[in-house]
Amino acid sequence: MLDSHFKKEEFKKAVKENVKMLYRKTIDEATQQQIFQAVSLAVKDVIIDNWLATQKQYEKDDPKIVYYLSMEFLMGRALGNNLINLTAYKEVKEALDELGFDLNVIEDQEPDPALGNGGLGRLAACFLDSLATLGYCAYGCGIRYHYGLFKQKIEDGYQIEVPDNWLKDGYPFELRRPEYAKEVKFGGYVRVEYDAATGRNRFIQEGYQSVMAIPYDMPIVGYNNKIVNTLRIWDAEPITDFRLDLFDKGEYHKAVEQENLAKNIVEVLYPNDNHYAGKELRLKQQYFFISASIQEAIAKFKKNHDDLHDLPKKVTFQLNDTHPTMTVAELMRILLDEEGMEWEEAWEITTHTCAYTNHTIMAEALEKWPIELFSKLLPRVYQIIEEINRRFILEIQNKYPGNQEKIQKMAIIYDGQVKMAHLAIAGGYSVNGVARLHTEILEKQELKDFYEMYPEKFNNKTNGITQRRFLMHANPLLADWITDHIGDGWITNLPELAKLKVYADDKKALQEFMNIKYQNKVRLAKYIQEHNGIEVNPHSIFDVQVKRLHEYKRQLMNILHVMYLYNEIKAHPEMDFYPRTFIFGAKAAAGYRRAKLTIKLINSVADVINNDASINGKLKVVFIENYRVSNAELIFAAADVSEQISTASKEASGTGNMKFMLNGAPTLGTMDGANVEIVEEVGAENAFIFGLTADQVINYENNGGYDPMQYFNNDPDIRNVLMQLINGTYSNGDFNMFHEIYDSLLNTNCSDRADTYFILADFKSYAEAQKRVEAAYRDSEGWAKMALLNTACAGKFSSDRTIQQYVDEIWHLDKVTIED
Ligand code: H2P
């Protein structure tokens, strides 16, 4: 299956040569990091041949291109994944063995490129994998942040953020492409000039500052098909290192400013997904990468097409959330100002080229930029948005004559703010949600007015994940076992997993399946021992919640329930209790106080429980430090129970839920996001569902009537647990430490509605579902069957399926195969 020139002996030779060339060392003298670099370079060499061949094929076939525009790409490590997709993993492992190295250890040398916060960025990464594997021409476009998402350290139970200098040793899988550099302009003013020749005004931006956007390309290797696509991330450099002309004119200050602009703009990823903070630098980042990406896309199009009116036939810009919405205005600017088009024709092209994905209904995420900030930073782009808005309001008036309320609710510019979601909807041809329930909520609730106006634009694309990373790479034992039983078709056609269903009553198969789970639990237990110094029992139930820390995801409900269980065990020492290990992993946005306090609470509860010898290790709590793609892979493979417990209606889709399912962990969750579809696939009897429905939550939100105090007053278990937040049980007698959390639930002195996320309303039904989990786990054969059926029914949740739906229903791309 390997490229013929990718032979073991040659590969070993290449590694040795690379070590020599890069470090003037022999292989025995090199550090593991140096070996990683040398191995990666040898792998890159193979990739580059395929990359070239892919480019040639694209030039020949001229397929339609999708540009996936995203502020975030949470790629995770590339070496192992590239080897998997080159179908060279086992061979390279052997080759390295022969050289005396362990591939796993070498892989661990790679920094996790963490250019994203959570699900949104990881989805983008899975999509790139599927696009390449399915043979579609796609570019990911983003930012080459010098610092990715912070590294999390836990000190005294608190999260400490440490900068993630992922580029410090050099990243072997990137390629600097200065030949495609683009200038991006900020600030200044717009001079209008009448052009007698055309009879039109020309708009010229003057007095601006600018930076050069320099692309770095990363290869995206398709699975076993020789296709290599490109993730293009933009770095910023000053136009000239030292603007002597300005310096001479005494404008030293300006020259330095320009240099600083370049330095700051790509310095760091905002660690605040789902939360709009209104920072000027963030707006600069957005325009920076969008302007560079769109300029480059147009330049590329013009290289082999004469008529820009054909752009929608050949190009689609997919906007990953509203962060890249500037695309609409920037494309208009290029078509109007640089290509000399009339408004109507430019608008026609733009609205057939841009498409928008919504990832959340959380109001805090809605991007609204103050017009002063916006118009000062992007004067020409702002003018264009004003004109888009003027025309859009006319359209609304036309459709709803005299209806002022519609204008208030739908205008792009209103109340001194530019509303990015409205621009994205008006300026594109598609709006999609990321799970069926989420799309329904968008249509009926959040974006109702827009849905009524443009029903044809709305559609659903339920998220997916790539099985190449989250099964093949993450769980090689299970991957091999599956292939032994049903062949390897599942690697590119995940629904084939359904063939496993025939083993649901096969005792031997079930035992093998659970034995693999056990080995993965041992692997994770070792990691926990090494990283947390906590010993966990691999025979206990591994109950896992890993995801960004946010109140709506309700890590708090989980830990409150652990406190409740602990109370139960203490009160009834004789109680038959199946040993449990509750595992958490989560980063909290640096400025999100309550989320950070929840981390402290989890760690404090862990401290008390893990050190209480009287409970004989029946309960353990582990907070895994620095949750990220690489340790996620270990965690998913080892989980028994998948905690997906968001307040119904709040989690747009979730993708972790799919990764757990694929690895044979049943869902303990609410009917939220893609959980609904997971239950539909696997059957309600193979999941543990509890809690308010989305309709019930929305009803409370719209009509009131929820009173958490009632639960506090009427339920002694709940009261007991909440009192422990303020009586020092978990804070060495400090009554104040967790008071804020207590207040947030009961509103004794806090301003927002008490218990915004309905934790007390769902608590008992959650605890009851947890009891069902325990009972089910005791029946080991029944559990094994349930676990296996989860894997067998995960076929729908491949990002290959998601991407094929985007292609069929939104993008209409052409499939490409590489001719030998
Ligand atoms: C978000 C949503 C998830 C969704 C993901 C990808 C923003 O991710 O909340 O429900 O699955 O996008 O569409 P996250 O919360 O994990 O950062």
Q: Which residue of the set 655, 670, 729, 802 is catalytic?
A: 655
Instruction: Read off the amino acid at residue 513.
Output: F
172 Cα to the center of ligand 1, angstroms: 29
Same fold, 62-77+112-463+805-811 and 467-693+754-797: yes
Atom 11 of ligand 1 has which residue's CA nearest to it? Answer: 654
Q: 801 an active-site residue? A: no
The continuous run of DSSP H or E covering 737 comes out as none
| More confident of the two residues 246 and 444 | 444
| More confident of the two residues 79 and 279 | 79
Three-class secondary structure assignment of 49-109: HHHHHHHHHHHHHCCCEEEEECCCECCCCCHHHHHHHCCCHHHHHHHHHHHCCCHHHHHCC
pLDDT band for 2, please (50, 70, 90 cuts): very low
Instruction: Read off the amino acid at residue 242.
Output: F
HSE-CB of 802 using CA atoms within 13 angstroms = 29
Tens-place pLDDT, residues 96-155: 999 999 999 999 999 999 999 999 999 999 999 999 999 999 999 999 999 999 999 999
Task: Give mean pLDDT, residues 271-278.
Answer: 68
Q: Which residue of the set 144, 151, 284, 359 is catalytic?
A: 359
Torsion of CA 181, 187, 189, 191, to 10 degrees: 10
Domain 467-693+754-797: give its CATH code.
3.40.50.2000
Between β-strands 209-221 and 182-186, what pairing exists: parallel, antiparallel or unpaired? antiparallel
661 Cα to the center of ligand 1, angstroms: 17
CA distance 171 to 188: 36
Tens-place pLDDT, residues 61-91: 999 999 999 999 999 999 999 999 999 999 9
CA distance 83 to 367: 39
357 Cα to the center of ligand 1, angstroms: 11
Which of 553, 655, 661, 670 maximizes ligand 1 atoms within 8 Å of its Cβ, making it the mutation to test the pocket? 655
CA distance 396 to 411: 9
655 Cα to the center of ligand 1, angstroms: 7
682, 790 contact by CB (below 8 A): yes
Average pLDDT over all residues of the chain: 95
Q: 547 an active-site residue? A: yes
321 Cα to the center of ligand 1, angstroms: 10
Tens-place pLDDT, residues 152-174: 999 999 999 999 999 999 999 99
The continuous run of DSSP H or E covering 365 comes out as none
487 Cα to the center of ligand 1, angstroms: 33
Which of 120, 273, 436 maximizes ligand 1 atoms within 8 Å of its Cβ, making it the mutation to test the pocket? 120
441 Cα to the center of ligand 1, angstroms: 15
CA distance 122 to 223: 18
Q: 77 an active-site residue? A: no
Between β-strands 151-155 and 158-162, what pairing exists: parallel, antiparallel or unpaired? antiparallel
Residue 692: which of 660, 648, 631 has the closest Cα? 648
Residue 524: which of 469, 583, 595 has the closest Cα? 583
86, 40 contact by CB (below 8 A): no
Atom 15 of ligand 1 has which residue's CA nearest to it? Answer: 119
CA distance 414 to 583: 45
525 Cα to the center of ligand 1, angstroms: 28
213 Cα to the center of ligand 1, angstroms: 29
Tens-place pLDDT, residues 721-779: 999 999 999 999 999 999 999 999 998 555 568 999 999 999 999 999 999 999 999 99
Least confident residue range of 530-534, 542-546, 720-724, 760-764: 530-534
Atom 6 of ligand 1 has which residue's CA nearest to it? Answer: 120
The pLDDT, as a whole number, for residue 256 is 79
> Residues lining ligand 1, CB < 6 A?
117-120, 123, 273-274, 359-360, 434, 463, 547-548, 651-655, 673
CA distance 732 to 727: 9
Phi, psi dihedrals of residue 303, rounded to the nearest 5°: -60, -40
Q: 501 an active-site residue? A: no
Tens-place pLDDT, residues 401-418: 999 999 999 999 999 999
| pTM, full prediction | 0.97
**Rg, Å, the chain Cα set:** 27
Looking at the structure, give the CATH architecture of the domain made up of residues 62-77+112-463+805-811. Answer: 3-Layer(aba) Sandwich (3.40)
Question: Is pLDDT at 249 greater than 70 in this prediction?
Answer: no
Question: Is pLDDT at 277 greater than 90 in this prediction?
Answer: no
Atom 3 of ligand 1 has which residue's CA nearest to it? Answer: 654
User: What number does the ligand 1 atom closest to the CA of 357 have?
Assistant: 13
Atom 8 of ligand 1 has which residue's CA nearest to it? Answer: 119
User: What number does the ligand 1 atom closest to the CA of 321 have?
Assistant: 7
Tell me how crowded residue 59 is: count the other CB atoms within 10 A of its CB.
10
Complex confidence, ipTM: 0.96
124, 462 contact by CB (below 8 A): no
Q: Which residue of the set 93, 226, 659, 796 is catalytic?
A: 659
39, 96 contact by CB (below 8 A): yes
In the chain, how many H helices and how many E strands?
33, 23
DSSP 152-202: EEEETTEEEEE---TTTT--TT-EE-GGG-EEEEESSEEEEEEETTTTEEE
User: What number does the ligand 1 atom closest to the CA of 651 have?
Assistant: 10
Give strand ranges (E) for 670-746: 688-689
Q: 305 an active-site residue? A: no
122 Cα to the center of ligand 1, angstroms: 9
Atom 16 of ligand 1 has which residue's CA nearest to it? Answer: 119
The pLDDT, as a whole number, for residue 291 is 98
798, 498 contact by CB (below 8 A): no
CA distance 583 to 643: 10
Task: Give mean pLDDT, residues 522-534.
Answer: 96
Which of 360, 442, 553 maximizes ligand 1 atoms within 8 Å of its Cβ, making it the mutation to test the pocket? 360
The pLDDT, as a whole number, for residue 394 is 98
User: What number does the ligand 1 atom closest to the CA of 117 have?
Assistant: 17
Residue 387: which of 375, 399, 398 has the closest Cα? 375
Q: Which residue of the set 517, 547, 628, 650 is catalytic?
A: 547
The continuous run of DSSP H or E covering 609 comes out as helix 593-610
CA distance 475 to 469: 9
Question: Is pLDDT at 669 greater than 70 in this prediction?
Answer: yes
Question: Is pLDDT at 276 greater than 80 in this prediction?
Answer: no
User: What number does the ligand 1 atom closest to the CA of 434 have?
Assistant: 13
Cβ burial of 177 (10 Å; 0-12, 13-18, 19+) is: middle
735 Cα to the center of ligand 1, angstroms: 35
Q: Which residue of the set 438, 461, 553, 600 is catalytic?
A: 553
User: What number does the ligand 1 atom closest to the CA of 652 have?
Assistant: 10
Q: Which residue of the set 243, 548, 554, 596 is catalytic?
A: 548
533, 607 contact by CB (below 8 A): no
The pLDDT, as a whole number, for residue 246 is 58
User: What number does the ligand 1 atom closest to the CA of 365 have?
Assistant: 7
The pLDDT, as a whole number, for residue 362 is 87
Reduced to 3 states (helix: H, G, I; strand: E, B; else coil), residue 652 is coil
Tens-place pLDDT, residues 48-65: 999 999 999 999 999 999
CA distance 419 to 757: 26
Tens-place pLDDT, residues 290-317: 999 999 999 999 999 999 999 999 999 9
Phi, psi dihedrals of residue 737, rounded to the nearest 5°: -50, -50
User: What number does the ligand 1 atom closest to the CA of 646 have?
Assistant: 10
The pLDDT, as a whole number, for residue 261 is 87
Where are the domains positioned within the chain?
1-61+79-111, 62-77+112-463+805-811, 467-693+754-797
User: What number does the ligand 1 atom closest to the CA of 550 have?
Assistant: 15
Q: 240 an active-site residue? A: no
Which of 366, 650, 653, 677 maximizes ligand 1 atoms within 8 Å of its Cβ, making it the mutation to test the pocket? 653
Please enumerate in sequence order all residues whose Cβ is within 8 A of that of 451, keeping only pairs 6 or more positions apart, or say none: 442, 443, 444, 458
Kindly report the length of the chain. 820
Tens-place pLDDT, residues 691-723: 999 999 999 999 999 999 999 999 999 999 999
649 Cα to the center of ligand 1, angstroms: 13
Instruction: Read off the amino acid at residue 662.
Output: L
Q: To which residue do tokens 């683009």 refer?
A: 182
pLDDT band for 4, please (50, 70, 90 cuts): very low
